[in-house]
């Protein structure tokens, strides 16, 4: 009998239907901590940023961890051409102007649909990050 079925019924999975932590692999931890902290308007103490990881303060259950890998080794980053996560905003135009004021790389302009708007930016390693209203 396979694990998925027992008498025609699915067995409960020990893997929860819940995102725990998103890992962003970075080459330079301190540069990325500053970039993401500034984007999210979070305070940080650079003296407390130590390899290999830094956990950002994120509202909700899912965490965000910047991961630079072992001390003394520069991580080789392979970026996706597409966003793998997004940050939420209620005001897409205000968010766009805020990011522009930070002089971040804007990857795409605001795209709007009837019930959803977004734009994308690139972090210091070239990861595409989406900012969206949905």
For 87-110, the pLDDT digits (tens) are 999 999 999 999 999 999 999 999
Q: Is the pLDDT of residue 1 over 60?
A: no
Q: Is the pLDDT of residue 128 over 60?
A: yes
pLDDT of 89 reads 98
pTM surpassing 0.85? yes
- Identify the weakest region by mean pLDDT among 2-6, 18-22, 63-67, 75-79: 2-6
Q: What mean pLDDT comes out for the span 52-71?
A: 94
Report the topology of domain 77-134: 2,3-Dihydroxybiphenyl 1,2-Dioxygenase; domain 1 (3.10.180)
- 117: pLDDT confidence band, cut at 50, 70 and 90? very high
Pair 34, 47: CB distance under 8 Å: no
CATH architecture of residue range(s) 19-70? 2-Layer Sandwich (3.30)
Which of 52, 47, 49, 19 shows the shortest CA–CA distance to 36? 49
pLDDT of 14 reads 92
Mean pLDDT of the chain: 92
Q: Where are the domains of the chain?
A: 19-70, 77-134
Q: CA-CA distance, 130 to 134, in Å (whole number)?
A: 11
pLDDT of 74 reads 79
């Amino acid at each position: 009998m396979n694990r998925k079925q027992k008498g025609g019924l699915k067995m409960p999975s020990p893997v929860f239907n819940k995102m725990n932590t998103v890992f962003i692999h970075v080459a330079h931890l301190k540069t990325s901590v500053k970039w993401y902290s500034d984007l999210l308007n979070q305070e940080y103490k650079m003296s407390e940023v130590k390899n290999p990881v830094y956990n950002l303060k994120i509202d909700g259950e899912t965490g965000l961890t910047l991961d630079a890998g072992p001390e003394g080794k520069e991580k080789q980053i392979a970026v996706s051409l597409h966003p793998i996560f997004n940050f939420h905003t209620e005001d897409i135009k205000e968010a766009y102007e805020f990011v522009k004021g930070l002089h971040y790389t804007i990857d795409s302009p605001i795209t709007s649909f009837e019930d959803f708007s977004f734009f994308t930016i690139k972090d210091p390693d070239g990861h595409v990050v989406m900012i969206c209203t949905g």
